[in-house]
Amino acid sequence: MASEVLKTFLKKDKRVAVLTGAGISAESGVPTFRGEDGLWKKFKPEELATFDAFISNPQLVWEWYEYRRKLISEVKPNPAHYSLAEMQGYFESFHLITQNVDGLHQKAGSKEVIELHGNIKRNKCISCDKRFEEIELTSKEMPPKCRCGGLIRPDVVWFGEMLPAEAINKAHELSSKCDIFFSIGTSAVVYPAASLPLIAKKAGAYLVEVNLERTELSHLADEVFLGKAGEIMPEIAGFIKDKD
Ligand code: BJW
Ligand code: ZN
């Protein structure tokens, strides 16, 4: 379990930043993007998650998102999500940054989650940028159209698109000012999110990785937990609780 060094970082006054990726939701039943179990193996994310893909085949991309929305609406947070929600109450400074668009951290009770890649429940018009909640879209057209005539797309960040400025700026700041940084369930290959653990490490943070397998980041991490986030995160949160 947690090394003696890690235990010294699990103190109230330490500043904690956490980056999560698709692997944290895998045990809830949400497929990851890459790797053996990636449901989207049929399609590479780079083939569907781009504006060009949407323009060339809006129906296919919209259907992919509709399928995922339905799946996400039917799943629940798992022990890893709940452990992070619990941990936020322990530290004076605890910030959760996610690449996920599934909203499961919020469902588990995490507050002020920084969403780097948007949220699958929201949509926006490609022409006038008007935002729509999923439930507002009643049209059977796929994809639906805005009143201005523009196509409506999911409000997520595709390859080649800028991340929401406020989210990435805040994430940079938190990463450069934390004492301990957790990278959980991410292959750490998609930038700029993948640069956050590197920023933290460079600024002197203790870097902890939790993943089923080694990643591009592992050689830089101070501690690597190989295994399921749903099993490892409750142990880490449990250790914090047991201390009190
Ligand atoms: C478990 C587990 C369990 C499983 N427990 N672990 C060349 C070099 C560098 C950068 C670039 C480059 N060419 C292009 C770029 C930029 C590009 C990029 O990084 N590409 C790389 C792939 C090379 N980035 C961008 O384009 C970004 N924008 C940008 O850079 O803007 C500036 C710019 C603008 C214009 C021109 C150029 C630059 C935007 C990136 C947007 C990513 N969007 C997606 C889709 C979101 C919407 C949707 O959901 O549909 O985000 S792609 C997809 O990947 C999604 C994810 O958030 C993201 C990261 O994936 P993640 O979360 O890491 O998942 P996986 O599946 O990869 O990994 C899961 C991990 O979990 C695995 O390691 C498992 O082992 C593990 N695991 N079960 C613990 N139970
Ligand atoms: Zn519009």
pLDDT recorded at residue 51: 97
Cα distances (angstroms) measured from residue 194 to each of 97, 215, 217: 12, 11, 9
Kindly report, residue by residue over 154-184, the tens digit of the pLDDT: 999 999 999 999 999 999 999 999 999 999 9
pLDDT score of 116 more than 90: yes
For residues 117-124, give the mean pLDDT.
96
Q: Are 182 and 208 in contact (CB under 8 A)?
A: yes
* Sheet of strand 180-184, all strands in order from the earlier edge strand to the far edge: 114-115, 93-98, 15-20, 180-184, 206-211, 223-226
Q: What pLDDT does 34 receive?
A: 84
- Select from 80, 122, 85 the least CA-distant residue to 101: 122
Atom 14 of ligand 1, nearest CA residue: 160
- Residue 48 CA: which ligand 1 atom is closest? 50
**Of the residues 81, 95, 117, 172, which is catalytic?**
117
Cβ–ligand 1 contact at 205 (below 6 Å): no
Q: 31-74+118-156: which CATH number, 3.30.70.360, 3.20.20.10, 3.40.50.300, 3.30.1600.10? A: 3.30.1600.10
Which residues of the chain are in CATH 3.30.1600.10 domains? 31-74+118-156
| pLDDT at 240 (0 to 100) | 84
The Å distance, Cα 31 to ligand 2 centre, comes to 31
Task: State the average pLDDT over residues 90-108.
Answer: 98
What is the overall mean pLDDT for the chain?
93
pLDDT, position 37: 60
pLDDT of 45 > 90? The answer is: no
Residue 48: CB within 6 Å of ligand 1? no
pLDDT for the residue 133:
85
pLDDT at 62: 93
Q: How far away, in angstroms, is 155 Cα from ligand 2 center?
A: 13
The CA-atom distances, in angstroms, between 11 and each of 24, 27, 180, 240 are: 23, 28, 10, 8
pLDDT of residue 149: 93
Distance 151 CA to ligand 2 centre (A): 7
In whole angstroms, give the CA distance from residue 172 to residue 83.
Answer: 24
- Intervals of CATH 3.40.50.1220 along the chain: 1-30+76-117+163-244
Q: Is domain 1-30+76-117+163-244 classified as CATH 1.10.486.10?
A: no
95 an active-site residue?
no
